[in-house]
Structure 1
Amino acid sequence: MRNPYLPAWWTSAVVYQIYTRSFSDSTGDGIGDITGVIERLDYLSELGVDVIWLSPIHQSPQHDNGYDISNYRRIDHLYGTEEEFDHLLAEVHRRGMKLIMDLVVNHTSDEHSAFVVSSSSRSNVSRDSYFWRDPRRGFSPDNPGAEPNNWGSIFGGSAWEYDPRTEQYYLHLFSPHQPDLNWESTRVRTRVYEMMNWWLDRGIDGFRMDAINFISKRPTLPDSPVGSGGMYANGAPFYVSGPRVHEFIQEMMRAVFDFRTSEYLVVGETDGVTVEEAVLFTDSLRGELDMVFQFEHMRLDHGPGGKWDHLPMKLRDFKTIANRWQRSLADRGWNSLYVGNHDQPRSVSRFGDDAEYRYESATLWATVIHLQRGTPFIYQGDEIGMTNAGFTSLDQYRDVESLAYYDYAVARGINEEHVLDTLGKVSRDNARTPMQWDDSPNAGFSAGKPWIDVNPNYRSVNAAADRTSEKSIFRYYQRLIQLRHESLVVSLGDFEMLEPNDPQLFAFRRRLGNEELTIMCNVSAGLLPVPAYLGGPELVLGNYREPGDPKVLRPWEARVHRLTRVSPTARV
Structure 2
Amino acid sequence: MEKVKNDQQWWKKSIVYQIYPRSFYDSNGDGIGDLQGIIQKLDYLKELGVDVIWLSPIYDSPNDDNGYDIRDYYQIMKEFGTMEDLDHLLDAAHQRGLKIIMDLVVNHTSDEHSWFVESKKGLDNPYRDYYVWKPGRNGKEPNNWGSIFSGPAWNYDENTNEYYLHLFSKKQPDLNWENPALRNEIYTMMKFWLDKGIDGFRMDVINFISKVPSLPDGEVKEGAIYGDGGPYFVNGPKIHKYLREMNEKVLSQYDILTVGEMPGASTADAVMYTKPQNKEINMIFTFEHMGLDSGPTEKWDLKPLNLVHLKKNLTKWQTELHGTGWNSLYWNNHDQPRVVSRFGDDQEYRVESAKMFATCLHMMQGTPYIYQGEEIGMTNVEFESIEQYQDVETLNMFREKHSLGVPTEDIMKSIYVKGRDNARTPMQWSEQVHSGFTKGTPWIEVNPRYKEINAEAALEDKESIFYHYKHLIALRKKLDVITTGDFNLLFEDHPKIFAYERRSENEKVVVLCNFSRDEIVIDNNEILSVITTGKLIVHNYKEVKAESSITLRAFETLVYYVK
The TM tier, using the shorter chain, reads: over 0.9
Q: Check whether the contact 1:466–1:474 (CA below 8 A) recurs between aligned residues.
A: yes
Query: 2:525 is paired with a residue of what secondary structure?
Result: coil
Q: Which amino acid aligns with 2:159?
A: R
Q: Check whether the contact 2:4–2:253 (CA below 8 A) recurs between aligned residues.
A: no
Matched residue, 1:297: 289
Matched residue, 1:346: 338
Query: 1:52 is paired with a residue of what secondary structure?
Result: strand
Q: Is 1:539 aligned with 2:540? A: no
Matched residue, 1:552: 551
Deviations 1:475-525 (A, max 9, x none): 000000000011101111111111111111111111122110000011111
Q: Check whether the contact 1:359–1:471 (CA below 8 A) recurs between aligned residues.
A: no
The structural deviation recorded for 1:532 is: 3.0
Q: Is 1:258 aligned with 2:259? A: no
**1:352-501 residue pairs with structure 2 within 5 A?**
352-501=344-493
Distance in 1 of aligned mates of 2:253 and 2:515: 47
The structural deviation recorded for 1:304 is: 2.2
Deviations 1:202-232 (A, max 9, x none): 0000000000000000011111122125441
Matched residue, 1:570: none
Q: Check whether the contact 2:224–2:297 (CA below 8 A) recurs between aligned residues.
A: no
Query: 2:92 is paired with a residue of what secondary structure?
Result: helix
Deviations 1:282-307 (A, max 9, x none): 00111001000010000011012311
Matched residue, 1:276: 268
Cα 1:426/1:231, change in 2 over 3 Å: closer
Deviations 1:172-228 (A, max 9, x none): 000000000000000110000000000000000000000000000001111112212
Distance in 1 of aligned mates of 2:175 and 2:463: 48
Q: Check whether the contact 1:272–1:295 (CA below 8 A) recurs between aligned residues.
A: yes
Query: 1:318 is paired with a residue of what secondary structure?
Result: helix
Distance in 1 of aligned mates of 2:247 and 2:448: 45
**1:47-126 residue pairs with structure 2 within 5 A?**
47-126=48-127
The structural deviation recorded for 1:470 is: 4.9
Deviations 1:261-313 (A, max 9, x none): xx100100000101110000000111001000010000011012311111110
With normalisation by structure 2, the TM-score equals 0.97
Q: Check whether the contact 2:29–2:440 (CA below 8 A) recurs between aligned residues.
A: yes
Distance in 2 of aligned mates of 1:231 and 1:40: 46
Q: Which amino acid aligns with 1:327?
A: T
Distance in 2 of aligned mates of 1:349 and 1:506: 18
Q: Which amino acid aligns with 1:99?
A: I
Matched residue, 1:142: none
Q: Which amino acid aligns with 1:55?
A: S
Deviations 1:408-449 (A, max 9, x none): 111111111111121111100000000000000000000000
Q: Is 1:161 aligned with 2:155? A: yes
Query: 1:430 is paired with a residue of what secondary structure?
Result: helix
Q: Which amino acid aligns with 1:109?
A: S
The structural deviation recorded for 1:3 is: 5.5
Aligned pair count?
Answer: 554
Deviations 1:143-167 (A, max 9, x none): xxx1000110000110000001111
- 5+ unaligned residues in a row in structure 1: which ranges? 140-145, 565-572
The structural deviation recorded for 1:62 is: 0.3
Q: Which amino acid aligns with 1:13?
A: S
Q: Is 1:183 aligned with 2:180? A: no
Q: Is 1:326 aligned with 2:318? A: yes
Matched residue, 1:569: none
Q: Is 1:46 aligned with 2:40? A: no
Q: Which amino acid aligns with 1:62?
A: N
Deviations 1:29-77 (A, max 9, x none): 0000000000000000000000000000000000000000000011010
Matched residue, 1:23: 24
The range that moved more, 535-544 or 377-386, is 535-544
Deviations 1:328-372 (A, max 9, x none): 100210000001000000110001100000000000000011110
Q: Which amino acid aligns with 1:118?
A: S
Q: Which amino acid aligns with 2:258?
A: V
Matched residue, 1:509: 501
Q: Which amino acid aligns with 2:251?
A: F
Distance in 1 of aligned mates of 2:225 and 2:387: 29
Query: Which stretches of structure 1, 4 residues or longer, exceed 4 Å deviation after superposition?
Result: 1-4
Distance in 2 of aligned mates of 1:395 and 1:424: 14
The structural deviation recorded for 1:552 is: 1.0
The structural deviation recorded for 1:462 is: 0.4
Q: Check whether the contact 1:352–1:362 (CA below 8 A) recurs between aligned residues.
A: yes
Distance in 2 of aligned mates of 1:235 and 1:152: 7
Q: Check whether the contact 1:11–1:492 (CA below 8 A) recurs between aligned residues.
A: no
Distance in 1 of aligned mates of 2:253 and 2:98: 23
**1:519-538 residue pairs with structure 2 within 5 A?**
519-530=511-522, 531-534=524-527, 535-536=530-531, 537-538=534-535
Distance in 1 of aligned mates of 2:4 and 2:382: 45
Q: Check whether the contact 1:532–1:551 (CA below 8 A) recurs between aligned residues.
A: no
Matched residue, 2:229: 235
Q: Check whether the contact 1:390–1:456 (CA below 8 A) recurs between aligned residues.
A: no
Distance in 1 of aligned mates of 2:325 and 2:223: 35
Q: Is 1:248 aligned with 2:242? A: yes
Q: Check whether the contact 1:108–1:179 (CA below 8 A) recurs between aligned residues.
A: yes
Distance in 2 of aligned mates of 1:293 and 1:12: 17
Distance in 1 of aligned mates of 2:556 and 2:525: 17
Distance in 2 of aligned mates of 1:246 and 1:337: 23
Deviations 1:74-125 (A, max 9, x none): 1010100111110000001000010000110000000000000111111112
Q: Check whether the contact 1:16–1:53 (CA below 8 A) recurs between aligned residues.
A: yes
Query: 1:447 is paired with a residue of what secondary structure?
Result: coil
The range that moved more, 239-248 or 218-227, is 218-227
Distance in 1 of aligned mates of 2:118 and 2:307: 51
The structural deviation recorded for 1:7 is: 5.4
Distance in 2 of aligned mates of 1:473 and 1:258: 38
Cα 1:220/1:24, change in 2 over 3 Å: same
The structural deviation recorded for 1:545 is: 1.3
Distance in 1 of aligned mates of 2:428 and 2:304: 27
With normalisation by structure 1, the TM-score equals 0.96
Q: Which amino acid aligns with 1:46?
A: E
Q: Is 1:335 aligned with 2:336? A: no
Distance in 2 of aligned mates of 1:344 and 1:361: 17
